[in-house]
Amino acid sequence: MAQRRWSLAALALAPILTLGACDQLRDVWGRMTGQTHVEEPGPAPLDDVPLAARALSGAIQPQAEMAAILAPDPVLIAPGQILVGARVERELSDAASDMGLATSLARSLRADGIEALERLPDEVATQVRVRAETEAASIATNAAQDTLRRLGINGDITVRPGGVVTVDLTSGVSPTALRRNKQIAAESGERAPAAIEWSPADRCPRIISQAQLENDIALATRCAIQRLAQSGDFEFVEPNYIADSGFTRPPRRDQPSTTASQPPPATPPVSTTPMPIGGVPNDPLYALQWNYRARSGPNSSPGGAGFVAFWEAHQIGARNVRVAVLDTGLDLSHPDMHDAANVVTGVDLITNPERGGDGDGVDADPNDAGDRCGAVTENSFHGTHVAGTIGAAATNDRIGVAGGAWNVTIIPVRVLGHCGGELADIVSGIRWAAGLAPVVTAANQQIVNQTQADIINMSLTIQAPCPASMQAAIDAAVARKVIVVVAAGNKANRAALYAPANCNNVIVVGAGDARGDLAFYSNFGPEVDLIAPGGDVFADSDSDGRPDGILSTRATQSGCYDPLNSSSTERCYYSFLQGTSMAAPHVSAALALLAAQTGLRGRDLENALFTRAVSPFAAHFGEIECARSANATPLAFGSSTCARQSGRGRLDLALAAQSLAP
């Protein structure tokens, strides 16, 4: 009889116990996200959102594969492509005189060059600069043609806005040489644009025949660069380097996707919940974004950048702050990017249709048409991941992940395509984003940037000294109060070896991991200004069964699963990645938040970042686990902790938020 009463009681309590178990699970999730009750503001429970709004990709990677990521890559250039700098500053004074401007202005331009333009009204300065660029480019074109004629080789010469003249030697070599170079590229993988390895130590032979030049595009490129530089007629002469996004992945264990982009879900999730103005966001995957948390205290992460403290002070950004993302473009089919209010019309600046993969050249469509390099890789959607961290997708909308700046204007500038991006396109991207010069389509139509960027994010690297064309574009952008944020590079090497990290007038960002240390792959050295969360997909420091990577917007069909029950899914729209590419957008997002809060721009905004939002290192050295570094210096004899020069400190917006507390 007693047993029967207990059985009846158990039946009666079963629903209550079941509800209690659900509440317990929700409480666990709430503690992970900093919320003790579901009813309070915070991330939506995973089972309350559609699969497409929560499925993700990323697993902890085998330690044995770390070495492959750090292996050196060859320096590549586009065959037959040369960048020549017109002497624009020499023509500024004559341009002013021809326009009938005051003699004193002409003298000032002769003495101070480009810097003197900043003292003029914008319209007048633009007219003087464009006139000087046009005249200087004409002179440079004639000089380049004369040099090539003496060398005995033909070349097509194109003038780009901004005083950069490009020389294309492919019309001056035999079709056999071009076919041979394309065959070499094809052997490296499907749809790989032609490229040649470059070493500045290689010299043009003193005695060379016409036949040698016509049958060897690499030799013709090297000799033309040397002769053009020796002429002394140009501001600079350099090869058209091929930049890399730094996107690294372990070898694929499944079949790659063959599509350039993934279609959105049949019914994209739509939020019906009003979006509050700050606090902990309700995006369901926010619980996995350790990178935004405070470095200490409840619900913290030692490697976090303190964004949540800024949000809790109701500082979430503003649409009048504009960040240009020079990258692979945006996957506009992504459910968090489709018709996103934070994204404005950008531009595709990839001139080589083979590299662009979209069948055309320069146009106003920044959609990521793919950047895969070889038959066994998939498209990285690198720019979408980077832009998502800055704030391209809506935050606090019960969909996917949170971005650093909830309100911001993202300007997508596509400069990286199949197997990387060309220096000439990147330089055009900097100038266009800064409002310095329009770009010209294949149909000879101009595209003018109507929304000059306040911040430019470049998560890309070239293993070369800072190209003069890139430095000139950066300097001109900074003169217009644009801040340029760049990635330090991912080879655990000196940042001084990689552009744009070795350029002047940039903020160089190294990567930190979830433990607060310098990431094992991050480049280092005095060029690095600070570190920000870059992640580590080879570690799981919080033992949650997921990698310590940076989770952001990226579509894939590889390794997708539902975090609610770990079951595999056909595709997903969020991925864990690692890299200084992931660190740089944290700094761009932080600058955007500070710009919205203070109204500052340019150098004043940069100073505010370092004085208010950086936790300083001792003697500019960041710590790194010795076991993960082959050549770092131990802090003490026998210590397991090493140090590398890594800038002024860690990004920490919680410090800036302290002054905002009521």
Question: Which ranges of 267-381 does DSSP label H, i.e. alpha helix?
Answer: 307-312, 353-356
The residue from 93, 336, 368, 382 that is catalytic is 382
Q: What size, in residues, is the chain? A: 662
For the chain, give me the number of helices (H) and strands (E)?
Answer: 17, 24
Q: How many CB atoms lie within 10 A of CB 39?
A: 8
Alpha carbons 257 and 234: distance in angstroms, whole number: 45
Q: 3-state class of 366 per DSSP?
A: coil
Alpha carbons 132 and 90: distance in angstroms, whole number: 8
Alpha carbons 429 and 80: distance in angstroms, whole number: 21
At 13, phi and psi to the nearest 5?
-85, -15
- Per the CB < 8 A criterion, the answer to whether 547 and 63 are in contact is no
At 464, phi and psi to the nearest 5?
-165, 160
What is the residue type of 284? P
Alpha carbons 254 and 395: distance in angstroms, whole number: 32
Alpha carbons 571 and 263: distance in angstroms, whole number: 10
Label residue 297 exposed, middle or buried (CB < 10 Å: 0-12, 13-18, 19+).
exposed
In sequence order, the 6+-apart residues with CB closer than 8 A to the CB of 38 are 26, 30, 45
Q: 3-state class of 575 per DSSP?
A: strand
The residue from 581, 588, 629, 646 that is catalytic is 581
The residue from 244, 283, 327, 652 that is catalytic is 327
Helix (H) or strand (E) run with residue 555 in it: strand 550-556
DSSP-assigned states of every residue in 598-620? H---HHHHHHHHHHHSEEEPGGG
Would you say the C-alpha torsion 54, 582, 281, 366 has a positive or negative sign? negative
Alpha carbons 355 and 424: distance in angstroms, whole number: 13
Classify 79 in phi/psi space as left (phi over 0), alpha (psi -120 to 50) or beta: beta
Would you say the C-alpha torsion 308, 309, 313, 317 has a positive or negative sign? negative
CA angle in degrees (0–180, nearest 5) for 225-468-432: 115
Known active-site residue 334: no
Provide the token pair at 251: 């070898």
Known active-site residue 581: yes
Strands 621-625 and 641-645: antiparallel
Q: 3-state class of 621 per DSSP?
A: strand
Query: Which candidate, 465, 498, 516, places its Cα nearest to that of 652?
Result: 516
Packing angle between helix 468-479 and helix 423-433, nearest 10 degrees?
10
Q: How many CB atoms lie within 10 A of CB 137?
A: 25
Q: How many CB atoms lie within 10 A of CB 11?
A: 9
DSSP class of 332: T
What is the residue type of 507? I
Known active-site residue 104: no
Torsion of CA 491, 492, 493, 494, to 10 degrees: 120
Q: Is the peptide bond before 72 cis (omega within 30 degrees of 0)?
A: no
Catalogue the active-site residues: 327, 382, 581
